[in-house]
Structure 1
Amino acid sequence: MRADIGPYIKELRAALLLRLIFLLLLPLPILAANDVRPTFEKTRYDEDWSLMRDPAQRIDFLDRSKFIALNTEGTNWLSLGGEARWHYDYIDNPGWGDDPQDPHGVLLERYLLHADLHLGRRLRVFGQLYSARENGRTGAPAPIDENRLDMQQAFADVVLGDGDNAAPMLRIGRQEMAYGSSRLIDVREGPNVRRSFEGARLLTQAGAWRTDVIAVRPVLAQVGNFDDKRDPDQALWGIYASNPALTQLPWGSGLDLYYLGYRHRSASFDQGTAAEQRHTIGARLWGDRGGWDWNWEFIGQGGRFGQGHIAAWSLSAETGHTWPEAKGLPRVGLSVNAASGDKDPNDDDLQSFNALFPRGNYFSELALLGPRNFVNLRPSISFQPARSVTMTADVDFFWRLETQDGIYSPSGGLLRSGQGSGARFVGTELSLSTAWNINSRWTLTAIYSRFISGRFIRETGSSSDIEYVELTLQAKF
């Protein structure tokens, strides 16, 4: 523990004072029940604020920034937006006691500002600046915690055709991506530094089918100013097709079908490190009807790892039921997930699943374990004590699928080798969360989690139980 925490407390108070000033300046709009306005999306370029062309749709002065006409016809226009997020978390016994302890927790803050320029119906330019800061972490800040100032997104959309909604569109440049349930490609919203890619996508719409052809490389986030760069060692390509309501399926379910190719010059698993080229095919079925909701996905993988062959898979089945007429809209859910692990570290072949670029908080906000070599069972219950408040309680049970493979972090790093124990049970995580949607711009969340170590953790090193507390306040405009 630090001998003198005075400077830290002083800096923390100053930071909180600046945040308070921001809170007072940013208005809290009160919307009527019949107001219709765009929602803030995870990828901000998906928002369409063209309705703000009508002054009657503007609630306060910030809405004026959502549609700034650049010509009298209104065909050229600019939309501005941004986000501020302040996140405090404290982890007791990180890494089950193996990792350095942050004595007072960590304060993470991030700010984004974007400009969305529309020039007629065939050209669009989108740019987004990003600043992420960390205070309180023991040791140097990690790349997912701090990125002082950089360009998160900078791309152009060129419509290949007459500019109607059905014309193909080419998106070129640095861009965020998120698909399906974010099991394979996501912006990584949970950590302080989001993920982006550089390359091109061809976006097409044919009826209800949206199809993206992808050819990109991930961006390596660096802590300094304007020093992020394209990763030369990794590449991602493929095609992702999605239909939100396929009438040929039972109950009009949504359907995703995809192929993703991936290459890494130096990929690491419990088995070792080698060049990896992996091919992924998958299908996702989701929807809701009569109070039931479902989200089921199967993924198969093949390819080569060094001199060996890859044969891996993952299965996810999330099902829930909500009682819409009951007070508080109670919902019970059950999630069953599994991903393959390597069966023999002494041969060349590899059966470990690779989730590519998944969401950072894959199972929970604690973001401890990742989707390789696991079986996971999670029952949950949630209800709404008020219209804008949702409370959730869940329990996660984790096992290793293969005893010859280890356990991994959400980013794919090896946490514990599987060579030190034949036990399968990894542990149990209890989580309680409350989310308050204050209004269309402000959200506040509070989370508590406790990970209780299982036999595998106890037999392979430090095994202290982990406790996690998180408070997050987020504002968007």
Structure 2
Amino acid sequence: MKRIIILAALISGMLYTAMAQQFPSFKPLRYEEDYSILKKDSSNNGWYPNAKYNPLSSDGNVYVSLGGELRLQYFYAKNDGWGDEPEDKDGYVLSRYLLHTDIHTGKHFRAFLQIQGSMANGKVSTSPVDENPLDLHQAFIDYRTGVNSETKLIFRLGRQELSYGSQRLIAVRDGPNNRQSFDAAKVSVINTKYKLDLFYSHYVAAKKGIFDDGWNKDVQFWGSYLTLNKIPVLQNIDVYYLGLWRRKASFDDGSGRELRHSAGTRIFGKQHAFKYDIEALYQFGNFGDNNNKISAWTTSANLAYEFTPIKYKPEIGLKTELISGDKNYGDNALQTFNPMFPRGAYFGLAALIGPSNLIDFHPSLSFELTPRLDWNIDYDIFWRYSLNDGIYAPNTSLMYSGKNSSNRNIGRQLSSEFVYMPNPFLYFRAEFTWFKTEAYLKDVTAGRDILFAGVTAQIRF
């Protein structure tokens, strides 16, 4: 642990010398960063500019770009699992590093390689999402070509991250310690007014060993995702179809093979100080040996208004979701919504509950205390949508059955965080969550309130 802290301090000190120069901003998907702009600026010299853009040809079109991330987190949880998990009085430390190489060989070809290491120290029980010491996270090749002056095609093959929309369904899962990826073939059509992705993939299941996240035959995922921009009044629209096949899926009503299709749309944008993100989708298919019919759905609204003229620029927000659950046990039908591959911290920071069989009401308030320091507060109220279904974890696995309680009220969650970004390279966060158990959780667990606190330090380069 001490070695990691020393390494982070050294990297931070070296990056300080590069801060006076302008570089493209870091992106959630690191392969979307483009440092070819540095070849036009001869003043960019030194170790960091050379690491981001190292030309290998006289014209500068063949180059290598290096980058990475180091993240350290300390968490303390009281009454983890609402009192069902062993008590840990000391807390635990999570560490993650990501290192990548981006190789461009001219205007058409590109290769991207990224390794990931995730460690959990002091945690009572861990999963591969917490601890995966060293593995190949991404390794793909691109072929790019232009259709016309406004449209280009990208053909991508290999292990890669996928992220779409608000990450309600497909995310990089950055909150947990181990990000997720897919072995995929993808075609992208990109225009100033739209972007269309077509892909077929196998989900990469994380394992606790070294370089053992191999080919996964048990989960197949495919789809198309279209984003339309500059639409009158509505501004931006997503329209998508997603297909999922799992060899074995488990829900409160049973387990078995799952074939699920999802069709949905999302409208999002900003009008002056008002921001909106509204989404609805429907799922159909079959489940289990008896080909039980799937009929599930969800709707969500995420609205926010920023009072820009006021000191600290307060922003009030409201999120609300209806997420279907199974209507009846043993009726040869399944109405439980499957969020597939969502972001880990779906409701707040602590990632206690996943988005299945829920009614969620989620007001929030945020302040910009300084240009580099934000303070966010949110309050969540959870109910079960169906009394004949349980509640699920963020990874869609069943946590507690609905068969042992007739109560709908799950609980309330209050979270607060301070986020400090002194420069583009460094990120710090302090967070606190209190979860108040209500009738359902008191029926199916020890029923204790959860207190969760943590600090995060991250450096990107």
Give the TM-score normalised by the residue count of structure 2.
0.96
Q: Secondary structure at the match of 2:152?
A: coil
Q: Once superposed, what is the RMSD of the aligned Cα atoms?
A: 1.8
Query: 1:173-216 deviations in whole A, cap 9, x for unaligned?
Result: 00011100001111100011000000200111244110000100
The amino acid across from 2:165 in the alignment is G
Task: Identify the match of residue 424 of structure 2 among 433, 440, 443.
Answer: 440
The amino acid across from 1:456 in the alignment is Y
Q: Distance in 2 between matches of 1:28 and 1:417?
A: 55
Task: Identify the match of residue 126 of structure 1 among 103, 112, 116.
Answer: 112
Q: Distance in 2 between matches of 1:221 and 1:460?
A: 30
1:93–1:57 CA distance, 2 compared to 1 (3 A): farther
The amino acid across from 1:84 in the alignment is L
Of 229-238 and 354-363, the range deviating more from structure 2? 229-238
1:290 aligns with 2:272: yes
The amino acid across from 1:433 in the alignment is E
1:159 aligns with 2:144: yes
What's the counterpart of residue 75 of structure 1?
61
Q: Secondary structure at the match of 1:167?
A: strand
1:323 aligns with 2:312: no
What's the counterpart of residue 256 of structure 1?
238
1:84 aligns with 2:70: yes
Q: Distance in 2 between matches of 1:457 and 1:75?
A: 59
Q: Distance in 2 between matches of 1:163 and 1:126?
A: 25
Q: Distance in 2 between matches of 1:350 and 1:181?
A: 26
Answer whether contact 2:152 2:191 (CA < 8 A) is retained: no
State, as a whole percentage, how many aligned pairs show the same letter: 36
Answer whether contact 1:121 1:163 (CA < 8 A) is retained: no
1:14–1:66 CA distance, 2 compared to 1 (3 A): closer
What's the counterpart of residue 16 of structure 2?
27
Q: Secondary structure at the match of 1:199?
A: strand
The amino acid across from 1:449 in the alignment is T
1:168–1:271 CA distance, 2 compared to 1 (3 A): same
Q: Distance in 2 between matches of 1:221 and 1:412?
A: 15
Query: 1:271-295 deviations in whole A, cap 9, x for unaligned?
Result: 0101110000010111111210001
Query: 1:75-104 deviations in whole A, cap 9, x for unaligned?
Result: 111111111111111111111011223331
The offset of 1:37, in angstroms, is 3.2
Answer whether contact 1:118 1:125 (CA < 8 A) is retained: yes
Count of residue correspondences: 459
Unaligned runs of 5+ in 1: 1-11
1:166–1:348 CA distance, 2 compared to 1 (3 A): same
Q: Secondary structure at the match of 1:124?
A: strand
Task: Identify the match of residue 65 of structure 1 among 51, 55, 61.
Answer: 51
Answer whether contact 1:89 1:471 (CA < 8 A) is retained: yes
1:188 aligns with 2:188: no
The amino acid across from 2:395 in the alignment is S
Answer whether contact 1:391 1:434 (CA < 8 A) is retained: yes
Task: Identify the match of residue 221 of structure 1 among 206, 209, 217.
Answer: 206
Task: Identify the match of residue 262 of structure 2 among 266, 277, 280.
Answer: 280
The offset of 1:63, in angstroms, is 2.1
What's the counterpart of residue 8 of structure 1?
none
Task: Identify the match of residue 46 of structure 1 among 32, 37, 62.
Answer: 32
The amino acid across from 2:263 in the alignment is I
Task: Identify the match of residue 414 of structure 1 among 384, 395, 398.
Answer: 398
1:332–1:371 CA distance, 2 compared to 1 (3 A): same
Give the TM-score normalised by the residue count of structure 1.
0.93
The amino acid across from 2:16 in the alignment is P
Q: Distance in 1 between matches of 2:3 and 2:190?
A: 50
Unaligned runs of 5+ in 2: none
The amino acid across from 2:274 in the alignment is W
Answer whether contact 1:404 1:418 (CA < 8 A) is retained: yes
Q: Secondary structure at the match of 1:418?
A: coil
Q: Distance in 2 between matches of 1:172 and 1:22?
A: 32
The amino acid across from 1:107 in the alignment is V
The amino acid across from 1:217 in the alignment is H
Answer whether contact 1:49 1:66 (CA < 8 A) is retained: yes
What's the counterpart of residue 430 of structure 1?
414
Q: Distance in 1 between matches of 2:331 and 2:86?
A: 35
1:402–1:226 CA distance, 2 compared to 1 (3 A): same
Answer whether contact 1:184 1:355 (CA < 8 A) is retained: yes
Q: Distance in 2 between matches of 1:59 and 1:195?
A: 35
What's the counterpart of residue 468 of structure 1?
452
Answer whether contact 2:318 2:362 (CA < 8 A) is retained: yes
Aligned positions of 1:138-153 closer than 5 A: 138-139=124-125, 141-153=126-138
